């Protein structure tokens, strides 16, 4: 390439005559020849002159051009010719030409980018944003891939029908909703459901995040909105998916998130595109958020996002379907049952269930196992719910004993008091930020709570502090009850301010603050007197729970001592073992055939063997017959 540039730009100069047989003269010798008329012609190039004498002899001389010199040549009749000197094509000139070439190349790329900007008046890629387009041929997500949200799939099925056959609805005059808002906790499958809608309908899927619209440059967000809809019109019918729309759709004029002119201009552009003067036939907008309470009212009115689909956490049937799907992707032993895992994971989202299965597979691979057993799944669940064991934490015997009594206080209240979720596991091995823990698992998915259950749960939370006071005295209580007090206070405050379960406060909603509207700042909706009453009633409920916990522990001190002795010996006990200990020491001894006590040292509750189990892998959809789901 450089050789070609050299050939093109190199000067087309004449070849200089050879210096062979050329006599070099002095300036004085040249002037003598000129005066005597011996010089026939002279060619001057800069400060050098070449010529011939009348005798045909060639010569070369360095000259200084002056008026006197030129007059003498003219007077002697010398044929004089002037030529411009041709410099050599050196490295400096080559670098100049290369720099010019690169400059023109940069200008060419800039103009080309501007041409591809779609008339946005700027660089095309920057103004268009990070829109991802998935064509129908590459869309592989279908409704069968979305599990645990059957009602939501049924609600959006008519959108699929409309995108597949729009004329079916236009013939009768029906108007399909322009916007569908998917609302639900993180990890429940909102994005997956949107992709499944496009996959079932066989239409293009345009995806963008709400944060991609907002930039520091004024007007960029609105330009990106217009560019997005222009691309969608070219591909109609199609589906536009805006993830985390609360990043751009927050309430305008103050309130949540404050004011932002660029964000509000972007929101205005989105509102205009959704139902402006131009019709967007065949374009369905699906947005997702877990903060629907902060969205602007204009987004939620009819004609825009007028249909809201709630994506809840999966119930036990949905969890079983999700777990079975992910179990097919790993090798599992015959003792692994999707139903048992689903019953032990209430409140888990689809993403958390996928993480649980992956954690179990990682643990099996770490210890060179060929398959993942139920033991790995139990460990993965405990790790997610309670944190990783802190086996390296150094604790004295007195601290371990205090922790055992503290956790035993929680456990006794959980077993004795009615309408409390059963115990799944109790441990005095530090996990996460806790020195010990009592883990509860509900027998079924709950949708509401009654006042008796709430009061008993407050008593369970205060059981640890009550046990410390009874067995060690008020002067020896520790800071280990911090999270317990927080949970008890939270339940009491919600009962008084939101759930209407307090007689003195009545059936009134006492939120901490009401949202702001019309640019007004948020204000508390309770008076000073009411706030004082709320604080008194919250304290009264917590004190009542603490009193109930003390009464329960005093009546069951012998059971507490048996449970503490078992915890100091085994460190971790299951829920069935706790019930046996509370019912009588002999029953627990018979089950375990207990021998000599272990030394009071920290040991891991999970010590898988390195050797691979003999169990063979099985398919996740095969359920074990006769398995007791309550064996957890």
Q: At what angle do helices 397-416 and 528-555 cross, to 10 degrees?
A: 100
**How confident is the prediction for the chain on average, in pLDDT?**
77
Q: What does the alpha-carbon distance between residue 156 and residue 311 come to, in Å, rounded to a whole number?
A: 11
Amino acid 620: pLDDT: 43
- Which comes out higher in pLDDT, residue 223 or 334? 334
Residue 262: closest CA among 321, 329, 318, 214? 214
Does the structure show a pLDDT above 80 at 508?
yes
pLDDT at residue 354 above 80?
yes
User: Which pLDDT score is estimated for 472?
Assistant: 92
CA–CA distance, 552 with 413 (Å, rounded to integer): 6
Query: 78-87, 342-351, 460-469, 587-596: which has the minimum mean pLDDT?
Result: 587-596
Scan for tokens 């759709």, then name that residue.
249
Alpha helices for 367-505 (secondary structure H):
374-386, 397-416, 451-461, 463-472, 482-497
Paired residues of 308 in beta bridges: 181
Residue 372 carries which DSSP code? B
Q: Give yes or no for a contact between 206 and 238, defined as CB atoms under 8 angstroms apart.
A: yes
pLDDT of residue 92: 63
pLDDT of residue 158: 78
- Residues 149-208: tens digit of each pLDDT: 888 888 888 778 877 777 787 788 777 777 888 998 888 888 888 888 888 888 888 888
Neighbouring residues of 499: CB distance < 8 A, sequence distance ≥ 6: none
Residue 398 and residue 568: Cα distance in Å, rounded?
A: 11
Nearest one of 506, 500, 469, 505 to 484, comparing CA atoms: 469
pLDDT greater than 80 at residue 350:
yes
Q: Averaged over 407-416, what is the pLDDT?
A: 92
Question: 161 in helix, strand or coil?
Answer: helix
Lowest mean pLDDT, pick from 192-206, 210-224, 347-361? 210-224
In the predicted model, is pLDDT for residue 255 greater than 60? no
Phi and psi dihedrals of 4, rounded to 5? Answer: -65, -45
> How far apart (Å, rounded) are the C-alpha atoms in residues 421 and 441?
6
Task: Check if the beta carbon of residue 361 is closer than 8 Å to that of residue 349.
Answer: no
* Band (211; pLDDT cuts 50, 70, 90): confident
Residues 422 and 630: their CA atoms lie apart, in Å, by 11
Question: pLDDT band for position 219 (50/70/90)?
Answer: low
**614 vs 127: which has the higher pLDDT:** 127
SS3 381: helix
Note the pLDDT of residue 548: 96
Identify the three-state secondary structure at position 572: strand
Catalytically active residues, by annotation: 407
For the record, the structure tokens of 249 come out as: 């759709």
**Residues 554 and 470 sit within 8 Å (Cβ to Cβ):** yes
Q: Are 196 and 165 in contact (CB under 8 A)?
A: no
Q: Is the pLDDT of residue 139 over 80?
A: no
Per DSSP, the residues of 96-155 read HHHHHHHHHHHHHHHHHHHHTTTTSSS-HHHHH-S-EEE-GGG----GGG--S-HHHHHH
Q: How confident is the model at residue 415 (pLDDT cuts 50, 70, 90)?
A: very high
Per the CB < 8 A criterion, the answer to whether 405 and 471 are in contact is yes
**In this predicted structure, what is the pLDDT of residue 600?**
41
Q: Is the confidence at residue 356, as pLDDT, over 80? A: yes
- How far is 134 from 195, CA to CA, in rounded Å? 9
Q: How confident is the model at residue 395 (pLDDT cuts 50, 70, 90)?
A: confident
- Average pLDDT of the residues in 237-253: 81
- Listed residue (271, 155, 142) closest to 195, CA to CA: 142
Nearest to 298 by CA among 290, 288, 306, 308: 306
**What confidence category does residue 533 fall into, taking pLDDT thresholds of 50, 70 and 90?**
very high
Do residues 488 and 462 lie in contact, with contact meaning Cβ atoms separated by under 8 Å? yes
Rounded distance between C-alpha atoms, residue 514 and residue 226, angstroms: 35
Q: Which of 191-205, 329-343, 380-394 has the highest mean pLDDT?
A: 329-343
pLDDT at 217: 54
Is the pLDDT assigned to residue 588 strictly greater than 60? Answer: no
Nearest-angstrom CA–CA distance, 324 and 340: 11
Contact criterion met (CB below 8 Å) for 563 and 578: yes
How far is residue 178's CA from residue 161's CA, in Å, rounded to a whole number? 14
């Amino acid at each position: 390439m450089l050789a070609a540039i050299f050939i093109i730009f190199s000067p087309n100069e004449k070849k200089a005559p050879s210096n062979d047989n050329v006599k070099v003269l002095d300036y004085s010798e040249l002037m003598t020849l000129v005066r005597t008329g011996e010089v026939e012609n002279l060619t001057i190039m800069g400060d050098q002159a070449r010529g011939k004498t009348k005798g045909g002899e060639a010569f070369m001389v360095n000259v200084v051009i002056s008026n006197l010199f030129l007059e003498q040549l003219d007077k002697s009749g010398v044929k004089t010719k002037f030529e411009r000197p041709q410099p050599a094509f050196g490295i400096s000139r080559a670098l100049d030409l290369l720099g010019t070439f690169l400059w023109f190349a940069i200008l060419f790329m800039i103009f080309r980018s501007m041409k591809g900007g779609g008339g946005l008046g700027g660089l095309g890629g920057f103004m268009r944003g990070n829109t991802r387009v998935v064509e129908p041929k590459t869309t592989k997500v279908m409704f069968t891939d979305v599990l645990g949200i059957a009602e939501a799939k049924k609600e959006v099925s008519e959108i699929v029908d409309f995108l597949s056959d729009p004329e079916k609805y236009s013939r009768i005059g029906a108007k399909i909703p322009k916007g569908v808002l998917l609302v639900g906790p993180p990890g429940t499958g909102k994005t997956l459901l949107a992709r499944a809608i496009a996959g079932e309908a066989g239409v293009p899927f345009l995806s963008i995040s709400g944060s991609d619209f907002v930039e520091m440059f004024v007007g960029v967000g609105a330009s990106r909105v217009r560019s997005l809809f222009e691309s969608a019109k070219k591909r109609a019918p199609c589906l536009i998916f805006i993830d985390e729309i609360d990043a751009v759709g927050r309430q305008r004029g103050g309130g949540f998130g404050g004011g932002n002119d660029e964000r509000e201009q972007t929101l205005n552009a989105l509102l205009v595109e959704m139902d402006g003067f131009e019709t967007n036939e065949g374009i369905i907008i699906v947005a997702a958020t877990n903060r629907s309470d902060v969205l602007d009212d204009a987004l939620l009115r009819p004609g825009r996002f007028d249909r809201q689909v709630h994506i809840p956490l999966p119930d036990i049937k949905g969890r079983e379907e999700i777990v079975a799907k992910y179990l097919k992707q790993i090798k599992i032993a015959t003792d692994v049952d999707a139903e048992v895992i689903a019953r032990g994971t209430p409140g888990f989202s689809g993403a958390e269930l996928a993480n649980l299965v992956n954690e179990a597979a990682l643990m099996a691979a770490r210890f060179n196992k060929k398959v993942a057993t139920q033991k790995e799944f139990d460990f993965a669940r405990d790790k997610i719910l309670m944190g990783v064991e802190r086996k390296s934490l150094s604790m004295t015997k007195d601290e371990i004993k205090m922790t055992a009594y503290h956790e035993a206080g929680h456990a006794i209240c959980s077993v004795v008091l009615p309408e409390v979720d059963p115990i799944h596991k109790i441990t005095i091995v530090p996990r996460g930020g806790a020195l010990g823990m009592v883990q509860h698992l509900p027998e079924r998915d709950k949708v509401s709570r009654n006042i008796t259950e709430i009061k008993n749960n407050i008593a369970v939370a205060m059981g640890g502090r009550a046990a410390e006071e009874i067995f060690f005295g008020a002067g020896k209580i520790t800071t280990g009850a911090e999270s317990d007090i927080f949970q008890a206070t939270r339940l009491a405050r919600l009962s008084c301010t939101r759930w209407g379960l307090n007689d003195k406060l009545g059936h009134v909603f006492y939120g901490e603050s009401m949202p702001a509207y019309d640019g007004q700042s948020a204000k508390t909706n309770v008076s000073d007197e009411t706030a004082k009453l709320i604080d008194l009633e919250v304290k009264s409920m917590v004190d009542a729970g603490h009193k109930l916990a003390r009464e329960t522990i005093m009546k069951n001190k012998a059971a507490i001592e048996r449970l503490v002795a078992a915890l100091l010996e085994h460190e971790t006990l299951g829920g069935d073992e706790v019930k046996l200990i509370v019912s009588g020491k002999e029953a627990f001894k018979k089950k375990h055939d207990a021998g000599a006590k272990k030394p009071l040292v920290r040991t891991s509750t999970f010590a898988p063997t390195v050797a691979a189990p003999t169990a063979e892998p099985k398919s996740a959809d095969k359920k074990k017959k006769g398995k007791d789901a309550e064996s957890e």
